[in-house]
Amino acid sequence: MAVTITGHGDTIEPLLVLGWESSTESRNIYHQIIGRVSLDVTLRDDTLQAGTLPLLFGSRASAVAARDFLRINAVYTLTDTDRPELDLTFTRQGSMDLSQGEDRVYWQLNVSFQQVNP
């Protein structure tokens, strides 16, 4: 399995994407019409997905380097050769959280993201 994240002319390679959490929001607009019980609706596409990428690294140094890499304002591309359905173009949104695994060997970097169009 090869996971890569590229951006601003550089690349990082986490060992794994540990899971996948994302959501979208409806952008439909509802209109109350005076004298009617029913609503009118303006149908709109959902937002692009947003969520959290839990990235696993084999050492604290590689996790910190990844955090520093992702601190730069840029558009990033995640590519997963084993699961291409997870390929994603994104920007960072919100926080990044770094933690050491219970095994005290691996490090996890949770990255909040917002999908963008390439």
Q: Whole-number mean pLDDT of the chain? A: 94
For residue 38, name the pLDDT band (cuts at 50, 70, 90): very high
Q: Which helix (H) or strand (E) holds 67?
A: helix 60-70
User: Which domains does the chain possess?
Assistant: 3-115 (2.40.30)
Mean pLDDT across 72-98: 94
pLDDT at 51 > cutoff 70: yes
- Please state the rounded mean pLDDT for residues 35-53: 95
Q: What is the pLDDT of residue 86?
A: 86
Q: Report whether 86 contacts 1 (CB < 8 A).
A: no
pLDDT-above-90 percentage for the chain: 86
Q: Residue 20 pLDDT more than 90?
A: no
The pLDDT value given to residue 83: 87
pLDDT at 103 (0 to 100)? 80
Q: Is the pLDDT of residue 1 over 80?
A: no
Average pLDDT for 7-35: 93
Has residue 53 got a pLDDT over 90?
A: yes
With a CB cutoff of 8 Å and minimum separation 6, the contacts of 39 are 30, 31, 32, 33
| Closest by Cα among 69, 51, 75 to 13 | 69
